[in-house]
Amino acid sequence: MNYLSTRGAAPPLGLGAALEAGLATDGGLYVPERVPRLREEDFDGCATLATVAARLLRPFFAGDALAAELDAICAEALDPPAPLRAIAAHTWLLELFHGPTAAFKDFGARFLAASLARRRGADAAPLTVLVATSGDTGAAVAAAFHRRRGFRVVILYPDGRVSPRQAHQLGCFGDNVHALRVAGSFDDCQALVKRALADADLKAALPLTSANSISLGRLLPQMSYYALAALAHRRAQGTKLDIAIPTGNLGNALACILARAIGLPIGEIALATNANRVLPDFFAGGEYAPRASVSTLANAMDVGAPSNFERLRWLYPDEAALRGAFRSEAVDDEEIREVIRRSRERYGTLVCPHTATALRLLERLRARGDSRDWAVAATAHPAKFDEVIEPLIGAEVEVPPALAALLRRPSRSEPLAADYAALRERLMAI
């Protein structure tokens, strides 16, 4: 399997090279040369996330040296649980927050780290992993690469636009992990990362890759938990599972979309955003028009220029077909607060502000008469957003042990202007 750029002007690469490159030389995102097709029966005997992932990803690893390591990579990286938990009639939560940093991004970050470590070997020159984060990505990447020989991590995050606990996580690792708080938005951070990855002189002097959702190493393994949930649901209920996903940069959603295209029993896919309306406006018939992001309670989704829209257009080159394939709706902060306030009473559980957007979208569908089986992707543990949730429920949110351990560590970050020259100078000094 070769990988091509969404912009069509970069040479094809094998999987390992595409993982290490991060971004294509023409500025595009890597996509497989074809979408493999699998049948449900191909997964007979696969009952764990790691075994489902190994079967699902085998066609994507075909012909690459990493193919021989795929089972070991999946076993190492995909051991956190991803339970599908019933919370109401015909309604489930797909809990993706049981990893070491309490967010869904642990799965992809761990997979990428395990893959790159095997590809490069112990004696390779240090590789700098540059990542922009709107809250959760940076901590997941930091945890995945922390103290791994041959890797350095540089995290860019928008100063004052992540939750206090998210900010603490980003700066609490130290050693080979460097956290830079940028005077700007997530879109500014993302633009800086993309510019660095396109800087040939910089990459010649400093081996560089990315761990954002532009990376295939993030996208491919994230398909696996949707595959596992859909297969388990089909075996138990005999129906396809519809899935509502909170999204900002479209990476997690695209993983579900690609899993459905491969042949997994996934029905409708609904994309919930916060007040950043680029996607809802497009799916309602407007032009795709990136714009400056606005700050919301669901801060990890504060994205005004979703990078993975390029991959979505690759998968659906006909715009009318693309618009007809999905629904997308925006949820404002007051609606997020409302869902959180009554989530315990209505669903028997607390949810984070991001998960609340997808729950709210599903509530709208239920009010319109939709009685199908739906799962909501629960993307982060509510304890990461105590300053939002605790005033709404009048109680403390219990902190899971892994997160509590990180919060006990000292945390340090450095200020950085939203300026490429400043970033380049800092990268060269690491």
Query: Sign of the C-alpha dihedral, residues 97, 234, 269, 28?
Result: positive
* Band of pLDDT at residue 123, cut at 50, 70 and 90: confident
Amino acid sitting at position 206 = L
pLDDT band at 58 (very low <50, low <70, confident <90, very high): very high
Residue-level pLDDT at 79:
94
pLDDT of residue 199: 92
- Model confidence at 284: pLDDT above 80: yes
Confidence check: pLDDT of 237 > 90: yes
Q: What is the pLDDT of residue 124?
A: 81
The predicted pLDDT at position 122 comes to 73
The answer to whether residue 370 sits within a structural domain is: yes
Q: Do residues 253 and 386 lie in contact, with contact meaning Cβ atoms separated by under 8 Å? A: no
CATH number for the domain spanning 331: value is 3.40.50.1100
For residue 164, tell me if it sits in a domain.
Answer: no
Number of domains in the chain: 1
Q: What is the mean pLDDT of the segment spanning 225-243?
A: 97
Query: Furthest-apart CA pair in the chain: how many Å?
Result: 59
Beta-strand ranges (E) seen in 38-125 are: 84-88, 91-95
**Is 195 inside any structural domain?**
no
Assess if residue 178 is contained within a domain. Answer: no
Domain membership of residue 108 (yes or no) is no
Position 125 scores a pLDDT of 85
Can you tell me the mean pLDDT for 258-270? 98
Mean of pLDDT values over 31-58:
97
Say what the pLDDT of residue 282 is. 96
345 within a domain of the structure (yes/no) = yes
Q: What is the mean pLDDT of residues 258-281?
A: 98
Q: What is the pLDDT of residue 394?
A: 95
**Inside any domain, residue 349:** yes
Rounded distance, CA 356 to CA 211, Å? 26
Residue 372: pLDDT above 80? yes
pLDDT at 103 over 80: yes
Residue 45 has pLDDT above 90, yes or no: yes
Bigger pLDDT: 65 vs 133: 65
pLDDT at 66 exceeding the cut of 90: yes
Mean pLDDT (the chain) is 95
> Is 41 part of any domain?
no
| Kind and range of the H or E run holding 187 | helix 186-197
Question: Looking at residue 221, what is its pLDDT?
Answer: 97
Please tell me whether residue 359 adopts helix, strand or coil conformation: helix
User: Per residue in 332-368, pLDDT tens?
Assistant: 999 999 999 999 999 999 999 999 999 999 999 999 9
Separation of alpha carbons 180 and 412, rounded Å: 9
Backbone region of residue 70 per phi and psi (left: phi > 0; alpha: psi in -120 to 50; beta: other values): alpha
User: What is the per-residue pLDDT for 354?
Assistant: 97
pLDDT of 128? 95
Beta-carbon contacts of residue 158 (< 8 Å; ≥ 6 apart) = 134, 181, 182, 184, 185, 186, 188, 189
Residue 221, domain extent: 82-103+217-395
The answer to whether residue 135 scores a pLDDT higher than 90 is: no
pTM of the full predicted structure? 0.94
Average pLDDT (230-258) is 97
What is residue 92's predicted lDDT score, i.e. its pLDDT? Answer: 98
> Which band of pLDDT confidence, cut at 50, 70 and 90, is reported for residue 214?
confident
Q: Cα–Cα distance between 276 and 296 in angstroms, integer?
A: 8
Backbone angles phi, psi at 82, to 5 degrees: -135, 70
pLDDT band at 121 (very low <50, low <70, confident <90, very high): confident
